[in-house]
Structure formats: structure tokens, C-alpha cells
Structure 1
Amino acid sequence: MSIATFVVNLDADTERLGETRRQLQAAGVEFTRIAAVNGKQVEKTCAQPALEQAGRQLTCGEVGCFLSHRLAAQAFLDSDAEIGLVLEDDLAVQPHAKATLDALARDWRRQSIWDIANLARPAKHRFTQLPASQWTGPKPIFRAHYMPVTTAAIAWTRGGATEFLLRTQTFGLPVDVFIQRWVAETNRGLAMLEPPFASRDDDSTIGYDGRRRQPPFSRASRQRFKRLLRNHAAAARNEKETRKRAK
């Protein structure tokens, strides 16, 4: 079973792509480049959903980032691979990256409980370790009832990528926030305490051009607070149910 790897990169960011290529080649990981969408050059068709869901307009970078991840998910589905690894071009490859990807390729059929795996930010809240019968990787992997936010490195199953595209024909949240909410509903996410990728020191140019801190009583802050409460409540229920079934 193969993993297809895609790197999302703006046309102008040749130096970032060069560093990413150097690190992935050193780790023995081949990839296909996906030309990232420049959010400043697309019409914001998500204005009303964003006001309803986020309580604010999405930034140009957030729109471009979401559209870029949709392109990457479609490119994966257009391939013959069973797992699609989507990387942003500000990643740092960790020493156990290749061994983790090899384990994902070996073991994914024994983990039919996931749609998406966050491979760049450690799980911090509400997670349950997969047993050794389901995972042979170098570092433990967990069901992430509360998904970490970031899309620097995510892995899709074909079912997960298909559902992602169906659910996001219109969108009103940043892509990582959408994924966190989605996984809180479905309980079909994975994450690690020691992920195989991390973000480099330089900020991503794909998606974060000013996700500003909102005033405490603004509409956006109120929407965020409500969303976090719902996510935590759903994650708590999912964690309890998962542990109950494991007994």
C-alpha cells in the first residue's frame, strides 16, 4: 500500500520549497508539489458562512489555505494511493518521520477508525492510545478526541478526503479549526505526542496573514467560545465512550 505525499507551496516561495525538498529527500520521502492558492487573488465566496460560523471575515490567507488543502485532497483522490500525506512548505522533518509513515502504510487497515491524522502538532487534550495490535510505529499514536489545530502535516484516508471535500464546498472557518470541529463530531482523528513533522521557525505564508486576536466580547470571540465548549463537550463524550469500549 502506498502513501502519496503532496507539498502545498506558493509559486513565489521557491526558497521554502527548496528547504522542504532537501529535508524530505534526506528522509527518503518523494512528493508532488501542489501550487497553493493565493487568497489575495480569489473572490471571497465564504463571507456569509464565515460571519455565521467564525463571527468574522476570514483573512485572505485563511481562504487561500483552505482552497489549497481542497486541491491537495483532490489530487490525492485522483491518485491510486490509499493514504494522502499533505504537507505545508514550512515543515521540519523529524528523525522518525519515515518510520512513522512506513508504519502508517502497514497498519492503516487495522485502524479503520480514522479519517485524518495530525502529524505536526502534539495531542494535548483528550486522547486514547491505540493498542500495539493496531500500531507498530516508532512512537505511540492516539485517537485524538480533541484534534490539535494546525495543517502543517496531515494524513488522509480516501474516505476522509472524500468527506472533507463534500463538507467544504462552502466553508466559514479556517481549515484547521474546521477539522478540529469535524473530528469532535466524528471521533475519527489520530494524533501523536511526538509527531514526525513540526513547523519551522518561519511563519507559514500559505494561511496565516493575520489571524488577529479578537476583542474579548466581539462576535468572533463569542463564536469561538461557543465552538470550543461544543468541541470539548463532544470530545469528552467520545473519550468516555472509547475507553468504555476498550474495557
Structure 2
Amino acid sequence: MLTLVISLPLSTQRQKKISAGLQAAGMSFSILPGVVGSELSEAEIGSFAPFRFMARFRREIGPAEVGCTLSHKLALETFLASSESTALILEDDAVIPSNLGDAIALLVNRLPGNWGILKVGGIGGVRGRLLQETAVGKIVETHATTVCAHAYVISRQGASQLLRRILPIRFPYDIYLRDTHVHGARTFEVVPTLVVQEDLAGSRIQCDRMERPPSSDLRSFVAYRTWKLGHEIRRRAHIVKTIGLSAAVAPSRITRHS
């Protein structure tokens, strides 16, 4: 398994900390320099994210969010250029448990052959169906993952599916990863999460979001409601197709695979 750590060039303290964690877990890895969003010109941001206003959040996407997506895009491309069949993609604020490598090996071995993504870190609730209970957690096939993208395992098929629709950038990367009906990769998540995240409040992305509060004008509200209607129709149709009607009707409940 290829392990890639996305880190901005100047984040040396984070690099030291996650390197120590991975070494303690007995895992080999490479540091992948991330894209610094603040160094992108307006023209560059516009070329990657031509639809700057996000009706979903009623605000413009920030430079750090664009840089984050481009960094994960680079990680996916780096993985596909390798000879490895799976990759663990981490952000540099991930906290590495000592059993991470063994836990991932166990979980991947229990997944179906056409799996695409296995999230091993995230914040929030998981929606979907219980596939299997293991010694390290429950494997849930999900149509709506947790948020944050600091730790996930991916197959070559999953990486290809993510890259297919990663541009143009319409949402922050973790939201794109969450929306399985958009990228189409068969997605699973382990519950409880294996990898937590630190320094969330001080991240450049969080600062970006605070600097761009949601608009409260009528036009933004109408745009949001229009987006919401189309999103729900597409999302629930995808759930019925991939997981089943019961999950679409009661999406907040984790039900067992029959």
C-alpha cells in the first residue's frame, strides 16, 4: 500500500509529528507537497473553479479550498502513476494510531472486489448499511460519509472515478468525497473512526470559511433551495440504485446488509 501525506511546504512541525506517528506504526510513507491556495492567481482559481459561488453554502469557494482539492488531485494522480493497488491518503494534521497499518489491512480484506473508497477518518455521522463487524470497527457501505478528508484508503478504480469529476471544482474536496452520487465510487467507512484530526480550528481552510460567511440575500436563498431540490433527487436515486430503498427512505439509520 502506498501512503501519501499531503502537507504544505512550510508546515514543518506538522510534518515532523505525522512522520513520527507513521514511523511508530511501522508504516513507510512519502510527503507530498500540497498546493498553496493563497499563491494561486485569480485567473488560476477561475480556471479550476469557474463557478466561484457555491449555492450549497451560499458563499464563494476560498483559495485554500481550491488548493486542497488540487492537492488531493495530485495525490490521486501520484497513486495511479505507481504500481500499488491501494493507497492511504493523509493530510498532515491526522493523528496516527499505532495499529493503523494492521487495521487497514484487515478492513480492506473484508471489502468487496469493486470497492472504491474506504474512509478511516472523519467527523460527523455515517449514513448507510452495515456490511460487516470487525475487530477494529464496523464497515458501513455509505452514501453520505463523514466530513473532512484527512484519512482515506482508495483503490485504483476509486481514484480513477474521483479524478473523472474532480474538475471543475464546485465544492470543498471533503464534500466532493462525501457525495458518492457525484463521483460514483463505491464507498465504505469504518465506525468508529480510526484516525482523528487535530488543529482543525486553526486550519487555513477554516479561516477561509470564516472570511466568507453565507450570504443572506434572497437571490442566494433561492439559489440554495433550487440546488437542494436537484441534489436530493439525484442523491436518493443513487441510494436506491446502489444500496437500497430502505436506506433512501431512512438515510440516517445504519441498517444491516441482507
Question: Secondary structure at 2:168's aligned position in 1?
Answer: coil
**More deviation, 33-42/98-107:** 98-107
Q: Name the CA distance, whole Å, in 1 between partners of 2:196 and 2:87.
A: 18
Structure 1 residue 93, shift from structure 2 partner: 1.8
- 1:138 and 2:141 aligned: no
**Aligned counterpart, 1:21:** 19
**Aligned counterpart, 1:160:** 158
Task: Give unpaired runs (5+ residues) of structure 2.
Answer: 248-254
Structure 1 residue 94, shift from structure 2 partner: 2.9
Q: 1:91 to 1:52 in 2, by over 3 A?
A: closer
Describe the superposition over 1:137-189 as per-residue Cα deviations: whole angstroms up to 9, x where unpaired.
52211101212111011111101111211212322211111122234673711
Q: 1:245 to 1:98 in 2, by over 3 A?
A: closer
Q: CA RMSD for the aligned pairs?
A: 3.0
**More deviation, 71-80/193-202:** 193-202
Structure 1 residue 34, shift from structure 2 partner: 0.6
**Aligned counterpart, 2:252:** none
Q: Name the CA distance, whole Å, in 2 between partners of 1:79 and 1:150.
A: 25
Q: When the two structures are aligned, how many residues end up with a matched partner?
A: 240
Kindly indicate whether the alpha-carbon contact (under 8 Å) linking 2:116 and 2:187 is maintained by their aligned counterparts in 1: yes
Structure 1 residue 8, shift from structure 2 partner: 0.2
Higher relative contact order (CA 8 A, sep 6+): 1
The structure with the greater share of residues assigned to strand is 2
Alignment partner of 2:64 out of 57, 61, 67: 61
Q: Which amino acid aligns with 2:102?
A: A
TM-score computed with the length of structure 1 as normaliser:
0.82
Q: Name the CA distance, whole Å, in 1 between partners of 2:236 and 2:142.
A: 14
Q: Name the CA distance, whole Å, in 1 between partners of 2:106 and 2:220.
A: 40
Question: Secondary structure at 2:74's aligned position in 1?
Answer: helix
Structure 1 residue 235, shift from structure 2 partner: 6.7
Q: 1:26 to 1:50 in 2, by over 3 A?
A: same
Kindly indicate whether the alpha-carbon contact (under 8 Å) linking 1:36 and 1:206 is maintained by their aligned counterparts in 2: no
TM-score computed with the length of structure 2 as normaliser:
0.79
Q: 1:143 to 1:160 in 2, by over 3 A?
A: same
